[in-house]
C-alpha cells in the first residue's frame, strides 16, 4: 500500500513513501507521515520525483520479505536515496548482520518497527527540515490527536499496544517488535474520541495480543477526562463503546486470545455496544500442536468457551487463522482441526500451509511435514472452512442488517458495496448492494444503510438497501 499526501508549501522537499504489511505497520506509517507533514515535508507521487524514499517493510513470512526487498530494490533503482523502516529492518541476515543492509548495501539508513523518531533523524540527516516547526507547525487540515490516516475517512485502526510477551515458536515478531508495551489508556481513548469526531464510523482495535492489554503495567489505573480507567481490555472496550455511541459508530476487536476474561466482553457485544465480532487467531485446535506452537491460552477449552460465548451472544461472528502442516502434525491431529472447524462453526477462516520463517524456534522442531502434505492439508482445511462459512452465511438471507458503505458511485444509483458487522475491511467478505428500488434512496460512502439480504454468494452477501 502506498499513499501520497500534499499538505505543505510548494518548495518543500518531497519524500516518497511506501507502506507494506499489516495494520500495525500501517499505524507506524501513519505516525511517520504525520510527523513528516507536521515538519513541512511533502510526500511525492513517484519514487523518481522525490528527494528521498521511505519504505516501511514487513518481515513476517518469506513472501512478505521478498516483496519488501523487491520494493527497496525498485526504490533504489528509481531514486537511489532510500531509508528502510519496519519489521524487516529488525531482521538479521545469514551472516548475523542486518538483512536489509546485506541485500541492499546502498540504503541510507535502516530502523526496526515503531521507530518514528529514528526515521525522522535519518530523514533530517539526508534532507534537512524545510522550516522551523516552532514557527510554522501544523497544516490547517491536520488534527494533532489523530495525525494522518492511510485508511478511508470512515474507518481507522487504533493501535493499543506494541510488541508481544508470547513466544510462539513459528513467529519472530517479538524479536522484531520487542515485549508488550501498552499505550496509556488515556492516550488511546483521546485518540479514539478524536477519530470519531473526525468522522470515523468504524474503529478497528489492533495490537499483537489485544486481550493482553495492560499486562505489562499490571492493569494500572490511568485517567481519561479526569476519570479513572483501568488499563485493561474490558474496561477499554466499555469506554470505547461510550465514545462511539453518540456517533452510532462501530468498535471492532482484532487479535483477541481466548482467555477467561474475554467472556466479560459478551454482554457488551450482546447489547451491540461493541460489534459481536471476534478475530481470534487460534492457529490450531489440537492441544499437542498448540503446545509445540507455544500458543497463548493453549490450555483453554476452546470449544466450550466458544459455545458459552455464543450462548451469551448468539450473533457473535468468529474470524480466525490456522496453520496446516506444522512440524510433527500427525494426520490424527490434523483431523482434530477439521472436526474443530465443524464444531466451532468459525464464520471466517484463513489457513496457511506451514512455512518456516528464518530465525523462528519451530525450525528446530523434529518431524517436518513434507511440503506436498502441508499444501494438501491446507486445501482440505479450506474446503471444510468454506463449507462451514457458506452455511453460516446462508442463515443471514432474509435478515435486515446495518451496512457501512465503502463504495457507491453516483450516490449508489448503480448499487455499491459495504460491510456488515460480520465483515472487517480487507480480510472478510462484503455486502453487495443492489441498485435501490426507489429513486429517492441514496447510498453514500462512509454512511450506514439498512439493507435486506436477498442472497449469499461465496464470501459475500447480496442485499437491497431499504
Q: Which residues bind ligand SF4 (CB under 6 A)?
A: 164, 166-168, 171, 173-174, 208-209, 296
Q: Of 287 and 435, which CB lies nearer to ligand SF4 in the complex structure?
A: 287
- CB–CB of 157/204 below 8 Å? yes
Q: Catalogue the long-range contacts made by 431-434 (C-beta closer than 8 Å, 24 or more residues apart).
A: 431/401, 431/403, 431/460, 431/461, 431/462, 431/463, 432/457, 432/460, 432/461, 432/462, 432/463, 433/403, 433/405, 433/408, 433/463, 433/464, 433/465, 434/462, 434/463, 434/464, 434/465
> 331-344 and 371-394 are packed helices; what angle lies between their axes, rounded to 10 degrees?
10
Smallest Cα–Cα separation from 62: which of 91, 102, 27?
A: 91
> Least distance from C-beta 315 to ligand SF4, angstroms?
27
> For 167, what's the count of Cα atoms within 13 Å in the CB-facing half-sphere?
4
Least distance to ligand SF4 from the beta carbon of 172, Å?
A: 8
CB closer to ligand SF4, 222 vs 296: 296
Residue 299 or 314 having the CB closest to ligand SF4: 299
Write the DSSP symbol of residue 47: S
**Would you say 209 or 347 has its CB closer to ligand SF4?**
209
**Least distance to ligand SF4 from the beta carbon of 389, Å?**
23
Q: Minimum distance from CB of 174 to ligand SF4 (Å)?
A: 5
Whichever of 249 and 362 has its CB closer to ligand SF4, that residue is 362
Least distance (Å) between residue 209 CB and ligand SF4: 5
Retrieve residue 348's grid coordinates: 471466517
Q: Within 13 Å, how many C-alpha atoms sit on residue 293's CB side?
A: 25
Q: Which is nearer to ligand SF4, 41 or 322 (CB)?
A: 322
Compute how many other C-beta atoms are within 10 angstroms of the C-beta atom of residue 242: 13
CB of 32 to ligand SF4, least distance (A): 22
Q: Minimal distance in Å, beta carbon 90 to ligand SF4?
A: 13
Specify the residue, 42 or 166, whose C-beta has the smaller distance to ligand SF4.
166
Question: Whole-angstrom Cα distance, residue 150 to residue 233?
Answer: 25
Cβ 179 to ligand SF4 shortest distance, Å: 10
- 302-312 vs 331-344: helix axis angle to the nearest 10? 10
Q: Which is nearer to ligand SF4, 280 or 313 (CB)?
A: 280
Are the C-beta atoms of 134 and 388 separated by less than 8 Å? no
Amino acid at each position: 500500500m502506498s499513499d501520497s499526501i500534499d499538505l505543505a508549501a510548494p518548495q518543500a522537499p518531497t519524500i516518497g513513501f511506501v507502506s507494506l504489511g499489516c495494520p500495525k505497520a500501517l499505524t507506524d506509517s501513519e505516525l511517520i507521515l504525520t510527523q513528516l507533514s507536521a515538519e513541512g515535508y511533502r510526500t511525492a507521487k513517484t519514487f523518481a520525483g522525490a528527494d528521498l524514499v521511505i519504505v516501511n517493510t514487513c518481515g513476517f513470512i518469506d513472501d512478505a520479505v521478498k516483496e519488501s526487498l523487491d520494493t527497496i530494490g525498485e526504490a533504489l533503482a528509481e531514486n537511489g536515496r532510500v531509508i528502510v523502516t519496519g519489521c524487516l529492518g529488525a531482521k538479521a541476515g545469514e551472516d548475523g548482520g542486518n538483512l536489509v543492509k546485506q541485500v541492499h548495501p546502498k540504503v541510507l539508513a535502516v530502523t526496526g518497527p515503531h521507530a518514528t523518531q529514528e526515521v525522522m533523524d535519518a530523514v533530517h540527516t539526508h534532507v534537512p527540515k524545510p522550516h522551523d516547526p516552532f514557527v510554522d507547525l501544523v497544516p490547517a487540515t491536520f488534527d494533532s490527536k489523530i495525525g494522518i490516516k492511510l485508511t478511508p475517512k470512515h474507518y481507522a485502526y487504533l493501535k493499543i499496544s506494541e510488541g508481544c510477551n508470547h513466544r510462539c515458536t513459528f513467529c519472530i515478531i517479538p524479536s522484531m517488535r520487542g515485549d508488550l508495551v501498552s499505550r496509556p489508556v488515556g492516550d488511546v481513548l483521546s485518540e479514539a474520541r478524536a477519530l470519531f469526531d473526525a468522522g470515523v464510523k468504524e474503529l478497528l482495535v489492533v495490537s499483537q495480543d489485544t486481550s493482553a492489554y495492560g499486562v505489562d503495567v499490571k492493569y494500572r489505573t490511568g485517567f481519561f477526562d479526569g476519570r479513572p480507567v483501568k488499563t485493561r481490555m474490558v474496561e477499554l472496550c466499555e469506554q470505547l463503546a461510550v465514545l462511539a455511541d453518540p456517533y452510532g459508530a462501530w468498535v471492532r476487536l482484532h487479535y483477541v486470545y481466548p482467555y477467561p476474561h474475554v467472556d466479560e466482553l459478551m454482554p457488551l457485544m450482546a447489547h451491540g455496544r461493541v460489534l459481536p465480532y471476534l478475530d481470534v487467531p487460534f492457529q490450531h485446535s489440537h492441544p499437542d500442536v498448540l503446545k509445540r506452537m507455544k500458543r497463548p491460552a493453549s490450555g483453554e477449552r476452546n470449544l466450550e468457551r466458544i459455545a458459552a460465548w455464543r450462548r451469551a451472544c448468539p450473533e457473535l461472528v468468529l474470524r480466525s487463522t490456522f496453520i496446516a502442516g506444522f512440524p510433527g502434525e500427525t494426520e490424527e491431529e490434523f483431523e482434530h482441526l477439521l472436526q474443530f472447524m465443524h464444531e466451532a462453526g468459525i464464520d471466517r477462516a484463513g489457513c496457511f500451509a506451514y512455512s518456516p520463517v528464518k530465525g523462528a524456534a519451530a525450525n528446530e522442531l523434529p518431524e517436518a511435514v513434507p511440503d506436498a502434505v502441508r499444501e494438501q492439508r491446507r486445501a482440505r482445511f479450506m474446503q471444510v472452512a468454506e463449507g462451514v462459512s457458506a452455511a453460516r452465511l446462508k442463515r443471514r438471507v432474509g435478515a435486515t442488517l446495518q451496512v457501512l458503505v465503502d463504495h457507491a458511485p453516483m450516490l449508489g444509483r448503480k448499487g455499491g458495496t459495504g460491510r456488515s458487522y460480520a465483515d472487517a475491511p480487507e480480510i472478510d467478505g462484503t455486502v453487495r448492494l443492489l441498485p435501490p428500488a426507489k429513486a429517492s434512496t441514496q447510498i453514500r460512502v462512509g454512511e450506514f444503510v439498512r439493507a435486506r439480504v436477498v442472497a449469499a454468494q461465496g464470501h459475500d452477501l447480496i442485499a437491497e438497501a431499504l
